[in-house]
Amino acid sequence: MPTSNQTRKYLSVLARHPAFLGALIGILAAFSQALLISAGGPEAYGFCVACHTRDLVNGMTNLIADTTLSLAAISKNAILPVMSVTGVLIGAYLAARVNGEHKIRRSDPKTHVIYFLCGILVLNLAMIFGGCPYRAALRTGYGDITALLFIATMAIGVVLGTLVLLKREENKEDN
């Protein structure tokens, strides 16, 4: 019999493995659809960083400023929009704080501007597809072929990006 200390060690290793979180998100996304779909669609919408950010921002703007920005039916019908991104922000903050990994890291102003503009661009691209890489995975699991196409071209994009990164490193070493 493993001692309770060993069990705890195994559990903490398991909790820190990405595959465990992947399995958890998949099952929980299906569970949340089974639980909440009466409030409205779309399907395969259990977890998505881009769409849920859109729902949160547009939903709260609609409530506060009385606008009619578009958002998913589930967030429109519910008393408040989906809050998963708020949860991710708080959960990750707590995890970083508890484990002493929270540290303010500044970059130069130019980098901040680039990241801000890329945030706008990535969100818009994700909305044109109708999801971020996570909803693409959920949609693939739900049986959507177009989402599989998204994942395939994303992999090609990433490989091309890594080539750019490698090239950049080489140039740095030459200088």
Partner 1 sequence: MATGILPMEIAVYAVPVVTLILGLLIGYLAQRSGYCSIGGFRDFALFRHTRLLSGYLTLILASFAGYLLFWFLVPSSMEHFFWAFTSDLFVPIPGAPAGLSPAAYLLFSAVPGFLIGLIAVLLGGCPIRLTVMASEGSLKAAWFFIGMCVGSILFAALVSGWVVALMKTLGFGA
Residues 107-126 that bind partner 1 (CB under 8 A): 107, 111-113, 115-126
* 87 near partner 1 (CB under 8 A): yes
* 9 near partner 1 (CB under 8 A): no
* 35 near partner 1 (CB under 8 A): yes
* 6 near partner 1 (CB under 8 A): no
Tokens standing for 174? 């030459």
Say which residue the tokens 């945030």 belong to.
Answer: 119
Distance CA 50, CA 140 (A): 17
Sole binder of partner 1 in the list 7, 63, 149, 170 (CB under 8 A): 149
Our CA angle for 167, 174, 109, nearest 5°, is 65
- Nearest distance from residue 66's CB to partner 1, in Å? 14
Sole binder of partner 1 in the list 8, 9, 11, 158 (CB under 8 A): 158
Q: Nearer Cβ to partner 1, position 7 or 160? A: 160
Q: Distance of CA 144 to CAs 25, 44, 55, Å?
A: 18, 10, 22
Number of residues that bind partner 1 (CB under 8 A): 128
* 24 near partner 1 (CB under 8 A): yes
Cβ burial, residue 15 (10 Å; 0-12/13-18/19+): exposed
* 143 near partner 1 (CB under 8 A): yes
End-to-end C-alpha distance for the chain, whole angstroms: 58
In the region spanning residues 62 to 81, those forming contacts with partner 1, defined by CB under 8 A, are 69-72, 74-75, 77-81
